[in-house]
Each structure stands twice: as structure tokens, then as C-alpha cells.
Amino acid sequence: MSGLHATRPLSWRHRLLRGTLIALVMVFMAVLVLLPLAAVFIEALSKGVAAFMDVLAQPETVSSIKLTLLVAVLAVPLNLVFGVAAAWAMTRFEFRGKALLGAFIDLPFSVSPVVAGLVYVLLFGAQGWFGPWLSDHGVTIIFAVPGLVLATVFITLPFVARELISLMQAQGSEEEEAARTLGASGWQMFFRVTLPNIRWALLYGVLLCNARAMGEFGAVSVVSGHIRGLTTTMPLEVEMRYNEYDYMGAFAVASLLGLLALLTLVVKALLEWRYGDELAARATRGH
Amino acid sequence: MGHKRRRVLPGFGISLGYALTYLGLIVLLPLAALVWKASALDFSGWLQLLSAPRTLAALKLSFGGALIAALFNAVAGLLVTWVLVRYRFPGRRLFDALVDLPFALPTAVAGIALTAIYAPNGWLGQYLLPLGIKIAYAPAGVLVAMIFVGFPYVVRTLQPVLETLDRDVEEAAESLGATRLQTFVRVIVPALLPTLLTGFALALARAVGEYGSVIFIAGNIPLRSEIAPLLIVQKLEQFDYAGAAALGTVMLGFSLVLLVAIALLQRWSGRWAERAA
């Protein structure tokens, strides 16, 4: 920046252009991003704090919160273990079809959430491949918690893997090779060298994975069956209240998810600020 | 090098085996079930499905709307990235962090919030309606939701590239007498083009399949503001599994095409970066 200014001082036209562009971006982002965020909280409190607290204490709300936490607690660790395994294989070894494997890991990012839910209905639903066999054995997946977890796992599969692959690619394997040469066992190497090197990136991936897992709507909506108190996660509770014209209630539950989003962004910014060097390059941040 | 590494580092078989099994069970097997179910539909079934006015209208809205939204996001995203990277102003870091909000905010929450803003009696909608502008419960509402969810992709893809773009080239162009506009059009835009296209493709992929944020604001009027993913949900609710699978396969096919395009674009922009270095 200084180089540019040294060669050519800011003319008033340049300053005007610059001021206009900054103002334009601020207004655009305020309308596109800030206004919806503000709407969530203001609509949630539109009937006062007491009514808001009342919605949060209702059994439907409480059970939707518990279910959302349960689904995330099951789905996130599954994708965490997968992410570590996939990143280890992809960044530490050469093998045929590596690029294809990378593309398949990315696939859930570009598949419609509705399609993600649909595939499990076709697999495990009453008319599906395994449907009849499952119902003979008394196992329910669709319109039950296992279906919610599967759909969430599908949608959030790439988050941890993507982050770790970019970082471990950049870090290289010298330290791990040194540990092995010095006689460390495989697990010693993993827990004393690899894990400390990737811990912040791991946390970063888990953070994004969790935010999406708790907020996922389309995929879980297809497999849920919307059974109140049993298969409605918080986003589905928002939808059901909204469709029943309980707008304030919908926004009250939505405001909790809004707080989760804000918390996610704050932790994300903190991680980038404090441990930016130990995260994957910013190029991969957008995913 | 590869041989030595393979001997020294453990866990190749178990990590690759686990990753492939997991990916196969979670992603590939279910997608195979989708295509298999869609193949239950014979030729006339496909023809009937794809020529139905409601299907055509929904596909046109999902693909056409996503295209317009992604184009808008490419232009707006370039502008926002430029301002965030090149200018210093109060609140810059806050606005930078806010770019990610559409990623973090659950789609259903975004959907009802956008509806509260753009509905005929909404925060902005009440002022737009007298001007003859109807956004919620119309195709324009679908666009607004698609722009919202796709916005971060362009900025976050462009940002690291613009940050490392060599200023010397710009200064050289200007010292040779190029105007700022000429420098922007002839020097900066070509250097950013592969990355801009990648961001555009990512935003497009997201918007085409978007469901949660769209269905609340769209009003879902058949033939007018009904998106393709909603049609899939409706077919499922009517137990038309083959129809749902067929539409799902069409959307999956488009996702795969975009995925390949994005991979090629990234390779192209990687080459660009190498040449610049």
C-alpha cells in the first residue's frame, strides 16, 4: 500500500472513489448480513423477555435442544476420526486415485441437503434397499434419531478432513519421520508429534463441523418425519412453529441458533488471530 | 522419497482403509441407491417427469436463479474483497468477520429472518411494496436467499489471492501511464479471473441445491416460486420415490459437473499462482 501512495499521492478523485466504495460495501453488508441477524433477536423479543423465556422453557423447545445436542455429539466425533484418518492417508502417502478421493471428500459440500436426506430414505426407508430387512428386525432409522445422525454426518463430512488435509500438506512429515527414526512407536508419534501439530486446526474443523451439524435443516427435514418431541431438532422446531403461525416462538428458538452462530464466529476469529500460523492457509477458510 | 516415506511412517493401510470404508458407507452407497432408484423409471417416465410444467418451472428457477445469484455475488464479492483487502477503515475487521455469517447462521434461521425483512409487511418489504417491488413470496425472494447463502464463497476464495497479488505489476502499469481503470481491467481482473470463477462456481453449487433459507421466503407458488429441492420433498411426501430419485439424480449430476469444473479451475488458478511466483 505504501509503495502505491509513495509514487502517487491520493488525489481528491481517488479519495472520493475510495470513500464511496467503502460506504457502498458497508451499506450492502449491513442490509444483506446484519439486518437478518438483527431481525432474529428483535423478533424473538418482540413480545417481551417473559414471553421469550416462556418459549424456551416449553417441553418442545427443551426436547429439541437436547436432540440437537445429541445429534451433534454423535455426528461430530465420527467425522473427526474420519478427518484424521483421511488427512493422514492423503498427506503422508502417495497412492493412485488420491485426487479422486479428495473430490469425493468434497462431494457433500456441493450436494443439495435435500438430496442428502433423500438418499438415506431410499436406503433405509420402508421402500428402500434395506427397509424391509430393518423393519423385520425392529430397527428404525428413517423418522428416528439414527436417520438424523446419518444425514448430519453426510452433510458435515468434509469440514475436519478439508482443514487437516490443507494444514498437514503444508506442514510436511519431517518431524514425524524424525520421531520414527528415533524409535517412537506409531501411536507415540501420533500423540506426541502429529496431534500437537494439528490441534488448533482440529479444533477449527470441529468448530465449523459442529456449527453446521447443529444448524442443518434440509437433510434432517427429509429424514425426520417431524415427530414433535422425538425427531425435531432445533431448526425443525423453528420450522414447525413458523408454519403454525407461532412467529415469536419460531424466532425465540431461532435466536438460540443465532447465538450459536455468533459464538462460532467469535471463536473462529480468536483461533485465526491467535493460532493463524497453525491453521490451514486462508485459501481454504471459506469452506 | 516416496518409498522411504512409506517405510518410515506407519498407518497407511489402516487410515486409507478406514477413510475409504467410511466414505463408501456414508456417501457412495447412498448415492448409488439414488441412481439405482432413479433407473427404475423408464424412458417415458423420465419424459413425463421432465416435461411436466411444474418440474420445468422448478428446475428453471433453481438453476436460473442460482446463476443470477452467483453472478451477482461474483460482482459484489469482488467489490467487498477489494475494499476489505486494500482499504483501511474503522470497523474493517468486524465486517471481515461478518462475511462468514451466512456460513454460520443455520439456513432455517436465515430463511425466517429474510422473510421478516422482505415480506409485504416486513421491515423493508413495507417500503418496497408501494414502489411495486415484491420480494418475499415471489421469485425475487428466492434470489435474495440464494445471494445470502452464496455470498461468503466468492469473498473467501478471492481474499487470499488478492492479498498476495503483487503490487509491483500494478505500479508498473500505472507508471507506464495506465489509468486506474485500465490497470483494474487489464491487470487485476485477469490475474483474479480463475479464482473469481472458482468462487462463482462454489456459490452456484450452493445456491442450486439450497433449501432451508429459500422455502420460507419463496412462498412456494407452483410454476412461479417453487424450487427443485422442494419438488423432491413433495414427491417424497406423496410416496413417489422414483420421481424424487430421478429429480435428485438430475441435481446430483449437476453437482458432479460443478465439482469437476471447480477442481479444474483450482488447478488453473494454481498454475497462475506458480507463474506469478
CA distance A121 to B33: 10
Please write the tens of the pLDDT for every residue from A44-75: 999 999 999 999 999 999 999 999 999 999 99
- What is the pLDDT at residue B7? 60
Per CATH, the homologous superfamily of domain A49-284 is MetI-like (1.10.3720.10)
Contacts of A50 (CB under 8 A, 6+ apart): none
For residue B13, being part of any structural domain is answered with: no
Position A92 pLDDT exceeds 90: yes
- Residues 143-182, chain B, touching A (beta carbon < 8 A): 147-148, 151-153, 155-157, 159-161, 163, 167-168, 170-171, 174-175, 180
For residue B247, being part of any structural domain is answered with: yes
CA–CA min distance B214, chain A (Å): 11
CA distance B199 to B99: 14
- What is the pLDDT at residue B274? 62
Please write the tens of the pLDDT for every residue from A115-140: 999 999 999 998 888 989 998 999 99
Q: Between the CA of residue A113 and those of A109, A119, B77, B233, B239, what are the distances in Å?
A: 9, 10, 24, 11, 19
Evaluate the CA torsion angle A125, A126, A132, A138 in order and state its sign. Answer: positive
- At position A271, the amino acid (one-letter code) is L
Residue B188 contacts A, CB cutoff 8 Å:
no
Q: What chain A residue is nearest to B154 in terms of C-alpha separation? A: A286
Q: Do A36 and B110 touch (CB under 8 A)?
A: yes
Cβ–Cβ under 8 Å, residues B107 and B212: yes
Better pLDDT: A260 or A282: A260
Q: Between the CA of residue B217 and those of A196, B118, B130, B141, B238, what are the distances in Å?
A: 46, 8, 19, 6, 23
Residue B255 belongs to what domain range?
43-276
The residue extents of the domains of chain A are 10-45, 49-284
Residue B252 contacts A, CB cutoff 8 Å:
yes
Which pTM does this prediction carry?
0.92
Nearest alpha-carbon partner for B230 in B206, B255, B213? B213
Contacts of B164 (CB under 8 A, 6+ apart): B273
CA distance A65 to A100: 38
Report how many domains make up chain B: 1
Contact residues, chain A, for B170 at CB < 8 Å: 4
Share of chain A above pLDDT 70, in %: 94
Contact residues, chain B, for A34 at CB < 8 Å: 98
Residue B9 contacts A, CB cutoff 8 Å:
yes
Q: Do B22 and A82 touch (CB under 8 A)?
A: yes
Contact residues, chain B, for A28 at CB < 8 Å: 76, 79-80
Low-confidence ranges of chain B (pLDDT < 70): 1-7, 272-277
For residue B238, being part of any structural domain is answered with: yes
- Which SS3 state, helix, strand or coil, does residue A184 take? coil
Size of interface A-B (CB pairs under 8 A): 306
DSSP B181: H
For residue B38, being part of any structural domain is answered with: no
Q: What chain B residue is nearest to A182 in terms of C-alpha separation? A: B8
Cβ–Cβ under 8 Å, residues A216 and A155: yes
- What is the pLDDT at residue B191? 86
For residue B171, being part of any structural domain is answered with: yes
Residue B227 sits in a domain whose CATH number is 1.10.3720.10
CA–CA min distance A195, chain B (Å): 15
